[in-house]
Copies of this chain bind each other. A is one copy, B any other.
Amino acid sequence: MKNYILQNENGVYFECGYSCDNVIYLSLSGDNYFITDGRYAIEAKLYAKNCEVLISNDLLKSARKILKKSKIKKLHIDPHDFSLFTFQKLQENLAIKFVQKPNFSKLKRIIKSDHEIEYLKKAMCLGRDGFEKFAFYIQKQGLGKSEKNLFFKAKQFLSFDGEYDLSFDPIVAINQNSAKPHALPTKDTLQKDDLLLVDAGLKYKRYCSDRTCTSALNKNINFSRDQVFKTKLEQKVYDTVRLAQEKAISKARVGMKASKIDSIAREVIDKAGFGKYFVHSTGHGVGLDIHEYPVISQRSHTIIEESMVFTIEPGIYLSEQFGVRIEDTVVMKNKKAQIL
């Protein structure tokens, strides 16, 4: 794709190694322009690679000026990336055809480079450390704490006291609250033998980690895969989700359709009789954005390739009882899925 315009922060970062919250990036017949305002002048000139940095009080006006001067006839634009307002202003009276390419930047980012995989691995490692510290805290002081409290603590541990940005607000849900895939924290308090679901991640050099664990609250609470729950139903559901997740990871192959990976997980859950309680898709790509390509769902025809990075996160949600989700992020290496 030759001529395109971007303003999404992660999309622009991918192009030139620098980004900020007020930028228009143009790539026109191989000439690249990073247009931002004076606040970011020094950093942009220092860090943005392979592009000319232009400082402007009116980014749109400057972009239009460059477009007018250029001899291009077609410009690719992601209709998700521009508001109706900005799009209208941008193309007003320009003799250029705007060709809409939904998600073109995310599609460019579907295969990760070695250094991206390294950053993602580091993010996942830090994420595991954060989970471990959180488990230690719960062991020592968790009993009787509210979900809200635990939510704040999860943010603290996962961000290493604010050193790292979070990939998203963590989910910390006890018992019946874990049955809502995106629970908000309540005043419910943590008690012995409770089921606890934690979904959290952080960013390392802008790359996201993502992980979910479901654990039983006993003396040695931890976020490992081996969990012993109080009720038979909890244990059955947990073991089913675990089997589904592990099978999907071990059977995923380069060359497979993404929908096939979803099916591998889904069949295990179906067979155990919980099919209708697995209400979301099996996974999603992870990178600069927490939700990227490939989508691992029944409807996804994407062919899995080497160096793709995505989550495998089947779940079973029994309304008003409890929910279980187990999630890891994997990279395709040597044709197989490796947990990052």
- Chain A positions near chain B (C-beta within 8 angstroms): 38-40, 42-43, 77-85, 87-88, 100, 102, 152-153, 155-156, 159, 161-163, 180-182, 184, 279
* Sample (6) of A-B pairs whose CB atoms are under 8 Å apart: A38-B181, A79-B85, A80-B83, A80-B85, A156-B161, A156-B162
Complex partner residue of A162 from B38, B40, B152, B279, CB under 8 angstroms: B152
CA distance A182 to B43 in the complex (A): 10
Say whether A279 contacts B152, CB under 8 Å.
no
Say whether A42 contacts B180, CB under 8 Å.
yes
Chain B contacts for A82, CB-based, 8 A: 83-84
Say whether B85 contacts A83, CB under 8 Å.
no
Residue of B nearest to A149 (CB): B163
Assembly stoichiometry (copies)? 2
Complex partner residue of A184 from B43, B100, B180, CB under 8 angstroms: B43
Most B CB contacts (10 A, CB to CB) among A39, A159, A162, A180 go to A162
Say whether B83 contacts A88, CB under 8 Å.
no
Chain B nearest Cβ from A89, distance in angstroms: 9
CA distance A82 to B86 in the complex (A): 10
Chain B contacts for A39, CB-based, 8 A: 180-182
CA distance A85 to B159 in the complex (A): 34
Chain B contacts for A279, CB-based, 8 A: 38
Chain B nearest Cβ from A68, distance in angstroms: 21
Chain B nearest Cβ from A325, distance in angstroms: 13
Chain B contacts for A88, CB-based, 8 A: 79
Supply 8 further A-B pairs (C-beta < 8 A) apart from A83-B84, A84-B84: A38-B181, A40-B182, A77-B84, A79-B88, A82-B83, A83-B83, A84-B100, A85-B100
CA distance A210 to B248 in the complex (A): 48
Chain B nearest Cβ from A181, distance in angstroms: 5
Chain B contacts for A43, CB-based, 8 A: 184
Chain B nearest Cβ from A257, distance in angstroms: 22
Chain B contacts for A100, CB-based, 8 A: 84-85
Chain B contacts for A155, CB-based, 8 A: 162
Complex partner residue of A87 from B84, B156, B184, CB under 8 angstroms: B84
Chain B nearest Cβ from A263, distance in angstroms: 20
The 8 closest A-B pairs by CB, nearest first: A39-B182, A79-B85, A155-B162, A79-B84, A156-B162, A84-B87, A80-B85, A152-B162
Most B CB contacts (10 A, CB to CB) among A39, A85, A156, A279 go to A85
Chain B contacts for A80, CB-based, 8 A: 83-85
Residue of B nearest to A81 (CB): B83
CA distance A162 to B163 in the complex (A): 12
Say whether A152 contacts B156, CB under 8 Å.
no
Chain B contacts for A40, CB-based, 8 A: 182
Chain B contacts for A182, CB-based, 8 A: 39-40
Chain B nearest Cβ from A289, distance in angstroms: 14
